[in-house]
Structure 1
Amino acid sequence: MTATADEAISAPTPPFAARAAAVGGSPVREILAVTARPEVINFAGGLPAPELFDAVGVAAAFQAVLTTTPGTALQYSTTEGEPALRAAIAARTTARGLPTDADDVLVTTGSQQALSLLATALVEPGDTVLVESPCYLAALQAFAFAGARLVPVPCDAAGIDPAALDELVAAHRPKLLYTVPTFQNPTGRTLPAGRRAEIAAVAARRGLWIIEDDPYGELRFEGERVPWIATYPGAQDRTVLLGSFSKVMAPGLRLGWLRGPAALLRACAVAKQAADLHTPTVNQLAAARYLADNDLDAHVARVAGEYRLRRDAMLSGLADALPHGSSWLRPEGGMFVWATLPEGYDTAALLPEVVRHDVAYVPGAPFYAGAPDVATLRMCFVTQSVEEIGEGLRRLGGALVG
């Protein structure tokens, strides 16, 4: 029997994959869309300050590669990344205490892609993945899309509790632990060296992959740098270190990388071939040229100096902006302050009123893989000037305190 035109038109399309319905969108992105009005002072994003970008240096790097090697810059490249950029990343990693060769590095389209590749390469549907509590939101999304069962690890103001981690690994036999140990997103906390060593020991003893995400580590304002978990005994052969130029050069370049064992690197390269073939060649070559022609460390030091002033401005105004009895963490670097309002407050329910005062934050609940603390919130202090931060906190106080 032949179907009529009307019957053909009325036939439903097949449904989306279950994961597309099960994993929600980013509340941060949704808040940014709602608060796009120019009059809103927006503490909700995680955006570096655009006025501090070295636009002149980056433009010169692009001009140089497009002038001297246009055929290469505009051509396809290898999946693993441009050799010059891989070598530069390896050299910077080695200088910071983790001996690394260019072959140990895979360039990714932002470190967010590195998370997706690792989820593809490591996680089967139903596998357990351990995450911090609270945790970087986009990591929760990446692992959830892979079908992982997310189990939060108890944390305090210093980060992961190694004893609790050991118990969870024994009980759940997870595939991996994901952590942002330095200036964590969303809390800003930094895991002490002793706990890093203990986590490395747990991973070695129990059999566990560690994904160590470090997008903020170079943005230190005070205190001593803490070595990567990957440098501790027992962790070298099971830790994947993620890095990014987004917070120190420019996020629009979408340049990240992962450093890990050869076999896992190969699996991620195969996954990347299926995703985007390779990260844009011209961006990679421009970044390599920028690193060759400029002192990135000096640039980062200037940026961190300004960010410190902005952090201090936010910290100094929180007591007046938040209800009495609130608490917050004091980050030694990075981009975020994490605050907890008194019991009975719900920061998601309060947000519409806050936005009506032309200011915004991110409610803390979406950052939890388990039961959330609805009284928490995250504020980014780097995007606005010191003066704008003061005004934003005044508006916030008008909404929350009256």
Structure 2
Amino acid sequence: MTGVGAKRFLYAEPADVQSEGAVAVTVTEPNAVVRAPVPPLAERARNVGGSPVRDILAVTARPEVINFAGGLPAPELFDAEGVAEAYAQVLAKDAGRALQYSTTEGEPALRSALAARTTARQLPTTADDVLITSGSQQALSLLATALLEPGDTVLVENPTYLAALQVFAFAGVRVVGVDCDEDGIDPAALDALVARERPKLLYTIPTFQNPTGRTLPAGRRAAVASVAERRGLWIVEDDPYGELRFEGERVPWIAAQPGAEDRTVLLGSFSKVMAPGMRLGWMRAPAAVLRACAVAKQAADLHTPTVNQLAAARYLATRDLDAHVATVAAAYRERRDALLAGLPAALPEGSVWNRPEGGMFLWARLPEAYDTAQLLRTVVEHEVAYVPGAPFHAGEAGRSTMRLCFVTHAPQEIAVGVRRLGAALGR
């Protein structure tokens, strides 16, 4: 080809115009425009992977698959009538306000209602202590922006919530797992780790933890608060499942322990007790943290949708949320029991699992010879699914573990699913 212009083509193996291995070749063409490659994605976007749970849900979306993978509340247990009525009342009474912009901190009526519910559980709280977020997942992202610098060290339970690991990876921090046993964090191990690693923050789900379903006892909660007070440590206490207790006694929050008052951020959510599609969460935090998170939220989305906040406030004012949660918890207990009844015949000999007192998840460990990630393809072919345990860990661990969500399906479907799981695993 001849001419005065030049055109640049990019090629690579495999074909990927943004590959670092791309090679520029110049071929002349008449009157061609020289085009440079587009800049690459940010390093954090290239290096942080997606959620294995979301990937599995995409693969197992067929209705015939009995899915123990996703942490999906049972839709037939939503109070659809009550939620619809709350929206209708809000829109009938003041549609102009409900459909308008709102304050970043959140609607006063909802903040006051949440403060009252928190105070009733022996943690004195005012509306000024609360920031409304678009799900507690956004609260985590805001806290990472407000509290963490790239290179900081964050401690997490090992294993822990997958999306929290994603948030911390995007923040560019170093994540270190804390040794845990069947009751959760070992306070002595935590103390030694804080002394050695000098972390800025501990992220914990002490009640019905995701993924294990375990609950941290009251004595250990007090000990964790003591470590934070002595060593200088933020605690982020995530509590999306705490109201879903169906046996045993409620354990007070870490945030309510002596010494934790000025250094604990408590996260809550309506996703598991009202409806996840409303995307309503909140944080209770010291004033300086709330101010910083409000500024970060302004930059992210200005505010959580007004109509959703007002509908939730209306629901709390006119309906008995506690009675609804009790109904849901009773159904979840039956579903947990159905899963527990089937596991002995389904899992390989030598497997162990726990018996959660609430929440949505059960954690199982197969013998060391099993790799639950490699087995998943075979399991899905039997029209059942779980989440392999390894991605929940900070570091290499959990190869033979799995998380089973017991709330999405009715007991009869759970029984069928466990039989399919046993067939896939060769029992």
Q: TM-score, normalised by structure 1?
A: 0.98
Quick one: which of 263, 267, 277 aligns to 1:252? 277
Q: Equivalent residue for 2:419? A: 394
How much has 1:219 moved relative to structure 2? 0.2
Whose RCO is larger (CA < 8 A, sep 6+)? 1
CA distance in 2: counterparts of 1:164 and 1:8, whole angstroms: 62
Quick one: which of 99, 103, 114 aligns to 1:74? 99
Q: Equivalent residue for 2:374? A: 349
How much has 1:373 moved relative to structure 2? 1.6
How much has 1:372 moved relative to structure 2? 1.2
CA distance in 1: counterparts of 2:136 and 2:148, whole angstroms: 18
Q: Equivalent residue for 2:17? A: none
CA distance in 1: counterparts of 2:249 and 2:155, whole angstroms: 28
Residue 90 (str. 1) matches residue 120 (str. 2): no
- Residue 69 of structure 1: SS of its match in structure 2? helix
> 1:52-84 deviations in whole A, cap 9, x for unaligned?
000000000000011101000000000000000
Q: Equivalent residue for 1:60? A: 85
Q: Equivalent residue for 1:327? A: 352
CA distance in 2: counterparts of 1:245 and 1:282, whole angstroms: 15
Residue 50 (str. 1) matches residue 75 (str. 2): yes
Could you tell me which amino acid in structure 1 is paired with residue 331 of structure 2? E
Residue 26 (str. 1) matches residue 45 (str. 2): no
CA distance in 2: counterparts of 1:217 and 1:54, whole angstroms: 19
Q: Equivalent residue for 1:151? A: 176
Identity %: 76
Q: Equivalent residue for 1:336? A: 361
Q: Equivalent residue for 2:256? A: 231
How much has 1:286 moved relative to structure 2? 0.3
- Residue 236 of structure 2: SS of its match in structure 1? strand
Gaps of 5+ in 2: 9-31
Following superposition of structure 1 onto structure 2, how do residues 271-350 of structure 1 map, counting pairs within 5 Å? 271-350=296-375
Could you tell me which amino acid in structure 1 is paired with residue 423 of structure 2? G
Gaps of 5+ in 1: none
CA distance in 2: counterparts of 1:255 and 1:5, whole angstroms: 51
- Residue 402 of structure 2: SS of its match in structure 1? strand
Higher Rg = 2
CA distance in 2: counterparts of 1:27 and 1:237, whole angstroms: 35
How much has 1:401 moved relative to structure 2? 2.4
Q: Equivalent residue for 2:198? A: 173
Following superposition of structure 1 onto structure 2, how do residues 85-234 of structure 1 map, counting pairs within 5 Å? 85-234=110-259
How much has 1:375 moved relative to structure 2? 0.2
CA distance in 2: counterparts of 1:95 and 1:22, whole angstroms: 44
CA distance in 2: counterparts of 1:96 and 1:45, whole angstroms: 29
CA distance in 2: counterparts of 1:107 and 1:8, whole angstroms: 50
How much has 1:11 moved relative to structure 2? 1.6
CA distance in 2: counterparts of 1:242 and 1:20, whole angstroms: 26
Could you tell me which amino acid in structure 1 is paired with residue 191 of structure 2? D
Q: TM-score, normalised by structure 2?
A: 0.93
> 1:139-179 deviations in whole A, cap 9, x for unaligned?
00001100110000000000000001001111111010000
> 1:113-135 deviations in whole A, cap 9, x for unaligned?
00000000011000000000000
- Residue 71 of structure 2: SS of its match in structure 1? coil
How much has 1:5 moved relative to structure 2? 7.1
How much has 1:8 moved relative to structure 2? 4.6
> 1:78-109 deviations in whole A, cap 9, x for unaligned?
00000000001100000111000000000000
Could you tell me which amino acid in structure 2 is paired with residue 91 of structure 1? A
> 1:322-350 deviations in whole A, cap 9, x for unaligned?
00110001100000000000111000000
Could you tell me which amino acid in structure 1 is paired with residue 286 of structure 2? P
- Residue 271 of structure 1: SS of its match in structure 2? helix
How much has 1:371 moved relative to structure 2? 2.0
Could you tell me which amino acid in structure 2 is paired with residue 106 of structure 1? L
Could you tell me which amino acid in structure 1 is paired with residue 373 of structure 2? A
Quick one: which of 398, 401, 406 aligns to 1:376? 401
Residue 365 (str. 1) matches residue 390 (str. 2): yes
CA distance in 2: counterparts of 1:330 and 1:74, whole angstroms: 45
- Residue 268 of structure 2: SS of its match in structure 1? strand
Distance 1:365 1:8, change over 3 A: farther
Aligned residues, how many? 401
> 1:246-267 deviations in whole A, cap 9, x for unaligned?
0000000000000000000000
CA distance in 1: counterparts of 2:224 and 2:426, whole angstroms: 41
CA distance in 1: counterparts of 2:127 and 2:34, whole angstroms: 55
CA distance in 1: counterparts of 2:78 and 2:34, whole angstroms: 52
CA distance in 2: counterparts of 1:323 and 1:10, whole angstroms: 59
How much has 1:3 moved relative to structure 2? 7.3
Higher helix share: 1
How much has 1:10 moved relative to structure 2? 3.9
Could you tell me which amino acid in structure 1 is paired with residue 127 of structure 2? A
